[in-house]
């Protein structure tokens, strides 16, 4: 790994530095305090490939979905309510673009080379199935190879070099030079890749090298094999604002950041631009980490992915047992791996799947018959401090109503002292001086008065970790239930049911499931993680729809339901502000929901 001077200067302009050790290679550290919600750095793609399944939904160049907050601000759609559809390339009929500008950019960088009429047999890449990963690897190799060759040729031109020397570019701009140097320095782990993958890379490299538009590239097949090795352990899934994967990208600057299962930064996308944001306060000399895998997976599953794809053993605090964050995994237990499931189905042993259906049915029965929201809310409000009977197993509804007041908002406020309360409680003390400077918090939106002052207990005290520890301690005292609420398998089932019930418009059921998922997410994810922000918005919408549905069905509306909607809207705003930000569609959606909610409340007065 050779880190060049211009790359170091570029990182320094963002108050970042690289350190190096034997275990991780390079690590990015902060050189100054970073505030939660701040942009740590951005990263330009060296190559992007949209997934085939949704190529028609996103611009294949800038990855924006028309109708999104940023796209609606463009002149093309400013004057009409309905955003115009994406425009399809009239030649290949398979690539879609926002407008002529995106089409031209794509054309100049790669589309002119890969665009062919659909009927043409050349369209098929020899022996490669259009839908599988090989096709994606091939397209990524083509795009990156085209960009790198162009850069190499340009650099060979002396005249150009002299011109560049006489006009030094600003350090904080990610110039092509910086992107290329970062790419050249990335690990490829070729020594660790299994033989079958190396053969696959060789095949792709040969296929790409034979393309007519790459015949005069200075790159050799062996260079392309290295590129493929780098892609595997460095590339990013590109996702939209709903966090659905829509493509893959090579982002050399972002690839400098190491992994942690308890990250302090998150990867977000502004179209095809990758943005790394701080989701916690970060102190000088602290390493900045992102998560390479979904941290809702069990420890075994995460470690497997990290070993197979990234070739390392994770020793982060979540993967160790010597601290409270590490205890989360013991609580979650194990999930059924894809492999176990495949093997079971292959042996015609469907028993497990029937069992899964049973569990879904049991959960739905419980939600429909045994889970009375009003009764539960009254029993487990903060003021009476009641604890579910510890001699009996903890069922889903007791788990949710016991833990929710515990975790929200206290878990949040303990991690962010800038959240202001009204009523009798005082905000928690903070030991961190930088986080006290956080400016954009709930107090600027509306004061956080949940629970209302008359029902509020004094802040229970303790740090974020102490609150989490006491919640986990309490849980371990209950005898095992048939469906253990805090297990990862229960979360997986409830997540599926949450989406099913939303699709079917069963909002009361969706709200209960959403509250359960919120408890789990509050334990698994750091408080300002994008998954929590997205989930809080879904929960706020479900709870609001549930109120409307109740009204339509002539049911009596309870004040606690309105308080619930208010709480989820406020927390969603808080979380979205720090993650997706004010330019995002999510921010617009949460403001719209708040506006409708407040208007409705005023009408009822």
Ligand X SMILES: C[S@@+](CC[C@H](N)C(=O)[O-])C[C@H]1O[C@@H](n2cnc3c(N)ncnc32)[C@H](O)[C@@H]1O
Q: Tokens 């701040």 — which residue? A: 38
Tell me the site size for ligand X, rule CB under 6 A: 20
CB of 249 to ligand X, least distance (A): 13
Could you say whether residue 422 binds ligand X (CB under 6 A)?
no
Q: Which residue is nearest to ligand X (CB)?
A: 25
Could you say whether residue 460 binds ligand X (CB under 6 A)?
no
- Nearest alpha carbon to residue 563 among 458, 453, 455, 450: 450
Q: Collapse the DSSP code of 96 into the 3-class scheme (helix H, G, I; strand E, B; otherwise coil) and give the result.
A: strand
Binding segment for ligand X (CB under 6 A), chosen from 19-27, 38-46, 56-64, 380-388, is 19-27
**Which tokens in the block code for residue 324?**
């409270």
Residue 483 CB neighbours (<10 A): 19
> Are 494 and 517 spatial neighbours (Cβ–Cβ below 8 Å)?
yes
Residue 75 phi/psi, 5° resolution? -55, -35
Q: Which of 12, 13, 17, 25 binds ligand X (CB under 6 A)?
A: 25
Could you say whether residue 24 binds ligand X (CB under 6 A)?
yes
Could you say whether residue 314 binds ligand X (CB under 6 A)?
yes
Could you say whether residue 23 binds ligand X (CB under 6 A)?
yes
CB of 187 to ligand X, least distance (A): 5
Could you say whether residue 312 binds ligand X (CB under 6 A)?
yes
Alpha helices in 73-188 (DSSP H): 75-78, 100-106, 112-114, 133-156, 158-166, 176-184
Residue 479 CB neighbours (<10 A): 9
- Nearest to ligand X of 291, 577 (CB atom): 291
CB of 80 to ligand X, least distance (A): 42
Q: Collapse the DSSP code of 497 into the 3-class scheme (helix H, G, I; strand E, B; otherwise coil) and give the result.
A: helix
Q: Which of 8, 26, 211, 356 binds ligand X (CB under 6 A)?
A: 26
> Are 316 and 326 spatial neighbours (Cβ–Cβ below 8 Å)?
no
- Nearest to ligand X of 233, 533 (CB atom): 233
**Which tokens in the block code for residue 299?**
């420890």
Could you say whether residue 311 binds ligand X (CB under 6 A)?
yes
Binding segment for ligand X (CB under 6 A), chosen from 139-147, 257-265, 296-304, 464-472, is 257-265
Measure the CA–CA gap between 433 and 454, rounded to whole angstroms. Answer: 31
CB of 311 to ligand X, least distance (A): 5
Q: Count helices and strands (H / E) in the chain.
A: 24, 12
Query: What sign for the dihedral angle of Cα 359, 363, 364, 366?
Result: positive
Q: Which of residues 75-104 bind ligand X (CB under 6 A)?
A: none
- Nearest to ligand X of 25, 393 (CB atom): 25
Binding segment for ligand X (CB under 6 A), chosen from 255-263, 444-452, 542-550, 581-589, is 255-263
CB of 16 to ligand X, least distance (A): 13
Give every strand in the sheet of 236-239, ordered side by side.
Answer: 47-50, 245-250, 236-239
Could you say whether residue 259 binds ligand X (CB under 6 A)?
yes
CB of 35 to ligand X, least distance (A): 24
Antiparallel, parallel or unpaired: β 265-270 and 258-259: unpaired
**Which tokens in the block code for residue 3?**
């880190």
- Nearest to ligand X of 254, 363 (CB atom): 254
Could you say whether residue 233 binds ligand X (CB under 6 A)?
yes
**Which tokens in the block code for residue 584?**
């995002």
Measure the CA–CA gap between 126 and 124, rounded to whole angstroms. Answer: 6
Q: In angstroms, how far apart are the furthest CA atoms of the chain? A: 81
CB of 84 to ligand X, least distance (A): 38
Could you say whether residue 187 binds ligand X (CB under 6 A)?
yes
Could you say whether residue 258 binds ligand X (CB under 6 A)?
yes
Q: Give the DSSP H or E segment for 353.
A: helix 351-365
Q: Which of 44, 48, 68, 234 binds ligand X (CB under 6 A)?
A: 234
- Nearest to ligand X of 280, 594 (CB atom): 280
Could you say whether residue 19 binds ligand X (CB under 6 A)?
no
- Nearest to ligand X of 264, 397 (CB atom): 264
Query: What sign for the dihedral angle of Cα 85, 89, 94, 99?
Result: negative
Report the alpha-carbon angle 12-41-171, nearest 5.
40
CB of 185 to ligand X, least distance (A): 7
- Nearest to ligand X of 7, 314 (CB atom): 314
Q: Is 572 exposed, middle or buried (0-12, 13-18, 19+ CB in 10 A)?
A: buried
Q: Which of 207, 255, 395, 546 binds ligand X (CB under 6 A)?
A: 255
Binding segment for ligand X (CB under 6 A), chosen from 130-138, 148-156, 305-313, 434-442, is 305-313
Measure the CA–CA gap between 455 and 476, rounded to whole angstroms. Answer: 28
Residues that bind ligand X in the complex, under the rule CB under 6 A: 1, 23-26, 186-187, 189, 233-234, 255-256, 258-260, 310-312, 314, 316
């Amino acid at each position: 790994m050779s880190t060049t001077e211009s790359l170091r200067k570029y990182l320094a302009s963002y108050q970042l530095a690289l350190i190096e050790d034997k275990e991780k290679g390079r690590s990015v550290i902060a050189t100054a305090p970073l505030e939660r919600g701040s942009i740590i750095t951005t990263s330009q793609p060296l190559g992007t490939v949209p997934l085939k399944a949704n190529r028609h939904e996103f611009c294949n160049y800038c990855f924006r979905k028309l109708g999104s907050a940023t796209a609606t601000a463009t002149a093309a759609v400013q004057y009409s309510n309905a955003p115009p559809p994406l425009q399809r390339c009239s030649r290949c009929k398979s690539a879609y673009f926002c407008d002529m500008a995106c089409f031209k950019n794509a054309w100049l960088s790669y589309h002119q080379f890969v665009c062919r009429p659909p009927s043409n047999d050349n369209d098929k890449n020899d022996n490669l199935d259009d839908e599988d990963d090989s096709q994606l690897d091939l397209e990524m190799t083509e795009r990156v190879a085209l960009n790198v060759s162009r850069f190499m040729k340009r650099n060979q031109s002396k005249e150009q070099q002299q011109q560049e020397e006489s006009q030094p570019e600003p350090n904080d701009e990610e110039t092509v030079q910086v992107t290329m140097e970062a790419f050249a320095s990335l690990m490829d782990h070729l020594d660790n890749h299994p033989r079958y993958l190396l053969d696959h890379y060789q095949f792709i490299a040969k296929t790409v090298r034979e393309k007519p538009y790459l015949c005069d590239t200075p790159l050799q097949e062996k260079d392309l094999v290295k590129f493929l090795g780098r892609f595997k352990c460095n590339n990013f899934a590109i996702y939209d604002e709903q966090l659905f994967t829509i493509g893959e990208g090579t982002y050399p600057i972002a690839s400098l950041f190491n992994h942690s299962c308890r990250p302090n930064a998150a990867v977000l996308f502004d179209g095809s631009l990758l943005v790394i944001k701080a989701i916690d306060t970060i102190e000088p000399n602290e390493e900045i980490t992102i998560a390479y895998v979904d941290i809702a997976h069990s420890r075994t599953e995460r470690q497997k992915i990290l070993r197979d794809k990234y070739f390392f053993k994770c020793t982060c605090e979540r993967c160790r047992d010597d601290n409270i964050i590490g205890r989360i995994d013991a609580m979650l237990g194990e999930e059924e791996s894809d492999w176990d499931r495949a093997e079971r189905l292959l042996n015609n042993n469907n028993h497990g799947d029937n069992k899964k259906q049973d569990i879904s049915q049991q959960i739905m029965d419980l939600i429909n018959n045994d889970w009375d929201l009003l009764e539960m809310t009254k029993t487990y409000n903060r003021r009476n401090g009641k604890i579910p009977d510890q001699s009996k197993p903890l069922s889903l509804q007791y788990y949710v109503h016991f833990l929710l007041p515990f975790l929200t908002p206290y878990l949040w406020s303990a991690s962010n002292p800038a959240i202001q309360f009204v009523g009798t409680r005082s905000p928690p003390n903070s030991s961190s001086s930088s986080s006290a400077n956080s400016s954009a918090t709930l107090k600027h939106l509306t004061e956080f008065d949940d629970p209302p002052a008359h029902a509020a207990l004094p802040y229970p005290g303790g740090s974020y970790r102490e609150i989490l520890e006491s919640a986990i301690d309490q849980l371990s005292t209950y005898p095992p239930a048939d469906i253990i609420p805090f297990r990862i398998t229960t979360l997986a089932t409830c997540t599926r049911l949450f989406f099913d019930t939303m699709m079917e418009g069963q909002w009361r059921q969706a709200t209960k499931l959403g509250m359960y998922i919120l408890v789990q997410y509050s334990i698994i994810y750091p408080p300002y993680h994008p998954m929590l922000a997205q989930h809080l918005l879904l929960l706020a919408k479900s709870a609001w729809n549930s109120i409307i549905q109740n009204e339509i069905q002539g049911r009596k509306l309870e004040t606690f339901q309105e308080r619930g909607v208010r709480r989820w809207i406020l927390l969603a705003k808080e979380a979205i502000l720090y993650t997706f930000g004010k330019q995002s569609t999510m921010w617009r959606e949460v403001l719209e929901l708040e506006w409708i909610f407040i208007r409705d409340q005023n009408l009822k007065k």
